[in-house]
Structure 1
Amino acid sequence: MDDLELDLLAQSHTDLFVDEIRQQCRYASFAAADLNAAWEISDSVERDERLFFAAQSLLSAAAMVSKLLWPVARSGARGRARGEKLRTTLQITASPLVQSRSVRDSFEHFDERMDAVLAKSHQHPYVDQIVGPTDMLRFEVDTAVPNFLRRLDTDKGTVSVLNATVRINDLVDELLEIKRACDKWLNGELPGRILPISRTVIRMGERCTDR
């Protein structure tokens, strides 16, 4: 291979990751739309289930983006290099909510975090899938601060998993900004792109042609 062919091969590998990041950002936007639509459901039980289903889908997509751009330590040197290259390629300097592992880890390691909570909190009630302000619940004993497992705080616009909390709109805004960066790269609008621009990933329902 000559230098150009090697550069095109390296670019195709980058495109695979950028396309995946872009797709996960789209999934997150779909989940955010589902979250908004769920509020219109009249049956409160189904509404709350749909709300948390959408919230979980949103957090799952955000976690994928986070791992691709900021790999975990066990990814090793290769993973760290990949994350750094992708952030440089997409000109991502700061996305603190996506980068943060607090909600992501509480969601992905829910079983382990639950074990820890149950081991420490014997005297406090457990409440799950609460929709509404945090102070909406009242208990007979004022000191019985509840252990919230999962909750949507409607006043603050946040979703919480155990002790980790994130503002939903702020998280979605960061993901949409990352998606715009992915679109720019794939459309040849960022520096470092070598033409011709071709699709590295072909999905069902798409025409098998170059962009």
Structure 2
Amino acid sequence: MKLIREGAFLTELIFQAELVSSSYRRLKGSADGFDKISVWSDIQSILISSGNISKILWPTWKYRERGEQLRQLLEIGSESVLKSRKIRNRFEHYDEFLDDFFKDKDICSYTDLAMNPSLSASIGGSCHRGYNSYNNTLVIHGETLNLNDIVDAVEQVRLKCKSLFV
């Protein structure tokens, strides 16, 4: 990979990582202040920016060589939590989930954007999106994502990228 192109991707990875870090710092204050809009804005920002990192490191087939080179340069293995974009995709394509969920239903239970105490009561049932600020986990469509794991992995990418500019 040519040096200027490599530098551009490393710079973008650092930028996206800093967006994740900034949103993560705000998230605690948003949750402590019971600011539901800010909580979900921060979560969405974390998911989108970490998803952008994932797309750079594990791109579509057309750009697979670039992804392989960057992962090798940054020593990122295929077991990285950043590889999967499943939760982010579910969050991003929530409209499709709603269409599928309500298809052919006249009566149903629907809980969305649950937090903390209300989250535990709705997990077994019909909670579609929920955030637990006590352990920083996100529940969406019955699957759980630990935001701490995402933030830690993103920080490692940021530090590795920055070390290459020294």
Deviation at 1:164, TM superposition (A): 3.5
Residue 136, structure 1, aligned to residue 115, structure 2: no
> Quick check: 116-125 or 168-177, which moved more?
116-125
Residue in structure 2 matched with residue 34 of structure 1 by the alignment: 26
Q: How does 1:1-211 map to 2 (within 5 A)?
A: 10-41=2-33, 44=34, 47-71=35-59, 75-77=60-62, 79-94=63-78, 96-119=80-103, 123-133=107-117, 134-137=119-122, 146-187=125-166
Q: TM-score scaled by structure 2? A: 0.87
> Partners of 1:162 and 1:116 in 2: how far apart?
12
Deviation at 1:110, TM superposition (A): 1.9
What runs of 5+ residues in structure 1 fail to find an aligned partner?
1-6, 139-144, 188-211
Q: 1:86 corresponds to which letter in structure 2? A: L
Larger Rg: 1
Q: 1:93 corresponds to which letter in structure 2? A: G
C-alpha RMSD of matched pairs (Å): 2.2
Q: 1:51 corresponds to which letter in structure 2? A: V
Identity of matched residues, %: 25
Q: TM-score scaled by structure 1? A: 0.70
Total equivalences in the alignment: 165
1:46-69: CA deviation from partner (whole Å, max 9, x where unpaired): x12211111111111111001110
Residue in structure 2 matched with residue 3 of structure 1 by the alignment: none
| Change over 3 Å in CA distance of 1:110–1:137 after alignment to 2 | closer
Q: 1:90 corresponds to which letter in structure 2? A: L
The answer on whether the counterparts of 1:38 and 1:51 sit within 8 Å (CA) in structure 2 is: yes
Deviation at 1:150, TM superposition (A): 1.5
| Change over 3 Å in CA distance of 1:97–1:124 after alignment to 2 | farther
What runs of 5+ residues in structure 2 fail to find an aligned partner?
none
| Change over 3 Å in CA distance of 1:125–1:16 after alignment to 2 | same
Would you tell me which structure has more helix in proportion to its own residues?
2
> Quick check: 145-154 or 48-57, which moved more?
145-154
1:157-211: CA deviation from partner (whole Å, max 9, x where unpaired): 3112333421111111111011111111222xxxxxxxxxxxxxxxxxxxxxxxx
| Change over 3 Å in CA distance of 1:137–1:149 after alignment to 2 | closer
4+ runs deviating over 3 angstroms: 120-124
